[in-house]
Structure 1
Amino acid sequence: MSKNNNYSYIGIAFIVLVFGIIFIPKIIDRISNDDVIRNESRSDFVGDKKAPLSDLAFIEINNEPKKVPAFSFTNQNGKIITNKDYEGKVYVIEFFFTTCPTICPRMNANLIQIQNTFKDFEDFGVASFTINPDYDTPEILKAYAKHYGVTNPNWHLMTGDKDSIYKLANEGFNLYTGENAEVEGGFEHSGNFALIDKNGFIRSRKDKFGNPIIYYRGIVSEAEQVDEDGVKEEISALKEDIKKLLNE
């Protein structure tokens, strides 16, 4: 072996030794202080990317996406709840009353099932508005919630000024609500649910023609599949769409 080769090996060894002395302690120090993980992990960049919108439609009125109107009512725990309490959450809206002898028990049984499906999601909730606020006090609503098994802290059963509730239903959501002494229970209302995204917009899937279905049937259960009139259930579709909005 020539002297030149010896000098080359000695030079390489010297460079490696210098690199080790200078840089290896710095690398160890960065790892021990989590700098590499905190600043250079690729997963951090994934978190910075805004999640894409799902294929769910925005419900539009006069070519503008429809948002939940401002509201302020008292829930089953005597607390004032407004639309701002639902900001950043995906939630389902219903109008009901506790003494309803027909569709409300079926609607709320379906909502309990949905609640349990998303029990691990802190950003999921339900907004239930009574259309019989003269009877449905916070105490009555609390007992009703306990009876049905409401456990989600973001599920508020709300009561308040009747005119404001009816305006919210009929104008805010176009979900018909009215008093009628001739019908069983004394009130008429839609058995549909509205689905709201994290930004307060009303959303829904589209039908086979590409039009928003707008609302989800809340009466027929997944287990039933169809009711006595042949109407198909939409609870499974609602669950699928809640997942989509939670991922936006």
Structure 2
Amino acid sequence: MFKSWKAGTLLLVLLVPALLFIFLKLFGRNHFTLPKYIPRIDSTTGEPLMRKQVNLKGENVIDTVFHTVPGFRLTDQNDKAVDQSVTKGKIHVADFFFTRCGTICPKLSSQLTRVQDIFRDNPDLVFLSFSVDPEHDSPEKLQAYARKYEAIPGKWYFLTGDKAQIYNMAQRGYFLPVVDHGVSYGKPDETFIHSEKLVLVDKEGYIRGFYDGTDPEDVDRLILEIRVLLDMYKTQ
């Protein structure tokens, strides 16, 4: 009797987790979602812009109008013209760096290598790294840098070109600070000031998150939220 009870208990302990896993696999759903950042502001009232929109249920609702990242036309590490079409229908992660940077950029790029490796086989995600030192960062310099961080061609783009356009993209596109002091202080790291943030952008161009690219734990959060965003598109 005791042995029978003991065997039944052991079977139950082993069976319940298996059944729970099967149930979650078949019927569970990811209910996480990600907010949109940077609402557009009505210049006459100072309030967020609102408009009528149709939601996923086909209902007419009044919703906030959010900023979308603008287009660009620059040159990549392969000396090819690249524009926003490389992000069409894709999620992207953006950052700003320069190849002579010896402080935060190596940390940023190393963390991006880690993120790239996790999603290397997912065609719905690309990476854009904009140089804040385009006069120095020629395609040849970017190509060497890309090799150093094992960038996958067609997945991770290192971009150079018109400086005004790049700085405008940082400040008004991704809402990240960038400064060129215009004079050399002996060290490039003291000439160019830029953010350590990584920016997650969805397929429609809405910003979905900012992350400290020098902090592995915050980059772990980026990895999680990329997965959430990918899942949101699957379940729409």
TM-score (norm 2): 0.71
Residue 197 of structure 1 corresponds to 202
Q: SS of 2:224's equivalent?
A: helix
Structure 2 residues not aligned, in runs of 5+: 1-28, 42-47, 49-64
Residue 242 of structure 1 corresponds to 226
For residues 68-112 of structure 1, give each alpha carbon's deviation from its aligned partner in whole angstroms, at most 9, with x where no partner exists.
Answer: 111110101111111122011111000000000100000000000
Q: CA RMSD in A?
A: 1.9
The whole-number CA distance in structure 2 between the counterparts of 1:61 and 1:80 is: 30
Residue 58 (structure 1) aligned with residue 66 (structure 2): no
Structure 1 residues not aligned, in runs of 5+: 1-50, 205-214, 222-232
Residue 165 of structure 1 corresponds to 166
The whole-number CA distance in structure 2 between the counterparts of 1:161 and 1:239 is: 31
Change (3 A) 1:243 1:142: same
Deviation at 1:162, TM superposition (A): 0.6
Residue 214 of structure 2 corresponds to 219
The whole-number CA distance in structure 2 between the counterparts of 1:220 and 1:150 is: 20
Residue 145 of structure 1 corresponds to 146
- The residue identity in structure 2 corresponding to 1:194 is V
Is the Cα contact below 8 Å between 1:57 and 1:203 reproduced in 2?
A: yes
Q: How many residues align?
A: 177
The whole-number CA distance in structure 2 between the counterparts of 1:129 and 1:183 is: 23
TM-score (norm 1): 0.68
Matches within 5 A, 1:64-213: 64-180=65-181, 181-182=184-185, 184-185=187-188, 186-204=191-209
Is the Cα contact below 8 Å between 2:33 and 2:229 reproduced in 1?
A: no
Structure possessing the higher radius of gyration over alpha carbons: 1
- The residue identity in structure 2 corresponding to 1:197 is D
Structure 1 segments of 4+ aligned residues over 4 angstroms from their partners? 51-54
For residues 10-54 of structure 1, give each alpha carbon's deviation from its aligned partner in whole angstroms, at most 9, with x where no partner exists.
Answer: xxxxxxxxxxxxxxxxxxxxxxxxxxxxxxxxxxxxxxxxx9995
Deviation at 1:61, TM superposition (A): 2.6
For residues 196-220 of structure 1, give each alpha carbon's deviation from its aligned partner in whole angstroms, at most 9, with x where no partner exists.
Answer: 111211112xxxxxxxxxx111112
Is the Cα contact below 8 Å between 1:115 and 1:152 reproduced in 2?
A: no
Deviation at 1:240, TM superposition (A): 0.5
